[in-house]
């Protein structure tokens, strides 16, 4: 039966209306997977020999020390990006197929995701090197199997946590608390991790613990999904009583105020947009990466980080215009909607949040005013230039967005566009080049002023640029409507 399911999915892939784009995205994903495979295999060699020869310690013991952190990061990544493959299974619920077979197929299919098995390349390579260097075969084998099973447990935890945001909040708080206690050496969590995971090597019979946990959680997850696996229950879209709310003072700004009002309500009410807000908040701390590697302290990379720190909301929200309105966009296009005011409302909302981000980023002044002024200049550029180019790239985004479900995919099939890719040049490469060259030849002040001038110039000629953007939105109008109507 499982082979029949796989055969049907293979046929659906090649019979869809967008097979070309599907194939293109699959190729890009495959290349990305190959890249990460190479990184993980290379990382295994580097980790083993560095620990063995430079640190003169047991590589398995040191890796075991940090496995608790890797396990937590793996769970977080799966919660953010990995989703249950329910859509392809729904049609089979009306057929004479045992429900337990469908549930088991869904659970097994979660292991096919690259997020589930990519880390195995690190562990298998690492254990292969350990065996080659004379480590005990039984111990290494038990360690590899036990670690792999504990990481695969995250697939089940993701399913159990996915529908309960309260539990997710509690678990997330525990992770943050644990990281803080470990960082300040209040609780030696890494030492506990070393003892726990190294036991699988020293005492191979501990593998029984991983096996019991894996199959026990499989059974719990099976019963949980089996109980909810009905078209009119667990798989049905949740319905809530609608609430009417209004931000009154925005109404005095006419149609722009009305559109901003609607967008703010959308951001507050839906799971996908709440994720956008959370992601935008996390981007504020992206600049802290500069203190982990010397490469980030170069002028080019400082500007790169400044663009993301101040423009996180702009990049996450703006490039999905008008995809956020995909459910009613065809209807809206039949009405007398002022297109320019519609886009200006998005533009003002992005720039208000960008301005707030510039103010919050003031804490980077703790690491030096040079850092903050770089980020400040990047914020001005985001307001004057990138906000408009981000809206422009949205014209080529034909991705449908379901606001009632979590968006757990990095890329979607209709979001790939060569034109949108070319717009990255003025958005990212131009300010990095101008800032880096100006700072190198004329100093920090010249670098900041040059970027700020570009931002101010873009702000001054915004009406001209808006005319061009509106023109492109109108050119893409009918293909966008067709894409939003086409559920395939």
Residue 374: both structure tokens together: 């770089």
Whole-number pLDDT of residue 3:
67
Angle at 29 between CA 105 and CA 310, to 5 degrees: 115
Q: What are phi and psi of 269, to 5 degrees?
A: -100, -25
Alpha carbon 272 to its chain's center? 12
Name which of 328, 323, 343 is nearest 474 in CA terms: 343
**CA-to-CA distance for 224 and 218, rounded, in angstroms?**
10
Question: How many whole angstroms separate alpha carbon 465 and alpha carbon 392?
Answer: 9
CA separation for the pair 444, 200 (Å, rounded) = 54
What does each of the 488 residues of the chain score in pLDDT, given as a tens digit? 656 666 666 666 555 555 445 566 677 778 878 888 888 999 999 999 999 888 889 999 999 999 999 999 888 888 877 766 655 666 666 677 777 888 888 888 888 878 888 889 999 999 999 999 999 999 999 999 999 999 999 888 888 887 676 787 788 888 888 888 887 788 889 999 999 999 999 999 999 999 999 999 999 988 888 887 765 554 444 444 445 455 666 666 677 777 888 888 888 777 777 778 887 888 888 777 666 555 556 777 788 888 888 888 888 888 778 777 777 777 777 777 777 888 888 888 888 999 999 998 888 888 888 888 888 988 898 898 888 888 887 777 777 776 665 444 433 444 444 455 555 666 778 888 888 888 888 888 888 889 889 889 988 988 888 888 888 888 877 878 877 776 55
Overall residue count recorded for the chain in this entry: 488
Report how far residue 319's alpha carbon sits from residue 52's, in angstroms, rounded to the nearest whole number. Answer: 47
pLDDT score of 24: 65
Phi/psi of residue 379, nearest 5 degrees: -65, -40
Res 180: pLDDT: 82
DSSP state of 57: S
Contact 106, 86 (CB under 8 A): yes
Let me know: does 314 contact 390? Beta carbons within 8 Å: yes
Token pair recorded at residue 333: 């296009």
Axis-axis angle for helices 339-360, 387-394 (nearest 10): 130
- The domain segmentation of the chain, as residue ranges, is 2-228, 252-485
């Amino acid at each position: 039966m499982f082979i029949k399911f796989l055969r049907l999915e293979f046929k659906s892939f090649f019979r869809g209306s967008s097979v070309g784009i599907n194939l293109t995205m699959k190729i890009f994903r495959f290349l990305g997977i190959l890249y990460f495979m190479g990184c993980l295999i290379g990382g295994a060699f580097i980790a083993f020999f560095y620990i063995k020869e430079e640190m003169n310690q047991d590589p398995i013991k040191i890796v075991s020390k940090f496995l608790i952190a890797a396990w937590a990061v793996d769970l977080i990544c799966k919660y953010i990006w990995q989703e249950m493959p329910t859509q392809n299974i729904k049609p089979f619920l009306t057929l004479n197929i045992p429900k337990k077979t469908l549930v088991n197929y869904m659970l097994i299919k979660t292991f096919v995701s690259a997020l589930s098995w990519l880390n195995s390349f690190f562990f298998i390579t690492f254990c292969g090197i350990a065996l080659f260097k004379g480590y005990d075969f039984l111990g290494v084998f038990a360690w590899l199997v036990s670690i792999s099973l504990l990481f695969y447990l995250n697939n089940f935890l993701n399913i159990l946590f996915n529908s309960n945001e309260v539990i997710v909040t509690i678990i997330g708080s525990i992770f943050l608390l644990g990281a803080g206690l470990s960082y300040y050496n209040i609780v030696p969590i890494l030492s506990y991790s070393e003892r726990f995971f190294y036991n699988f090597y020293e005492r191979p019979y501990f593998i029984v613990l991983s096996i019991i946990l894996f199959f026990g959680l499989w059974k719990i997850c099976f019963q949980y999904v089996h109980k909810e696996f009905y078209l009119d229950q667990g798989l049905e879209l949740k319905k809530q009583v609608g609430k009417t709310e209004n931000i009154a003072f925005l109404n005095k700004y006419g149609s722009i105020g009305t559109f901003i009002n609607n967008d703010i309500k959308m951001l507050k009410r839906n799971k996908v947009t709440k994720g956008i807000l959370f992601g935008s908040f996390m981007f504020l701390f992206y600049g802290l990466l500069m203190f982990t590697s010397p490469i980030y302290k170069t002028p080019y990379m400082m500007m790169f980080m400044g663009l993301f720190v101040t423009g996180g909301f702009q990049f996450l929200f703006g490039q999905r215009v008008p995809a956020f309105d995909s459910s009613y966009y065809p209807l809206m296009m039949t009405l007398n909607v002022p297109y320019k005011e519609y886009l200006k409302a998005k533009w003002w909302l992005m720039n208000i949040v960008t301005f707030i981000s510039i103010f919050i980023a003031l804490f980077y002044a703790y690491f030096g005013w040079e850092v903050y002024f770089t980020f400040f200049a990047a914020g001005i550029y985001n307001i004057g230039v990138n906000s408009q180019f981000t809206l422009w790239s949205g014209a080529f985004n034909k991705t449908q967005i379901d606001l009632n479900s979590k968006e757990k995919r990095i890329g979607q099939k209709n979001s790939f566009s060569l034109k949108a890719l070319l717009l990255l040049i003025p958005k990212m490469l131009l300010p990095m080049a101008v800032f880096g060259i100006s700072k190198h030849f004329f100093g920090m002040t010249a670098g900041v002023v040059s970027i700020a001038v570009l931002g101010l110039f873009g702000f001054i000629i915004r009406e001209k640029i808006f005319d061009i953007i509106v023109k492109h939105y109108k050119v893409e109008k009918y293909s966008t409507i067709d894409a939003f109507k086409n559920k395939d």
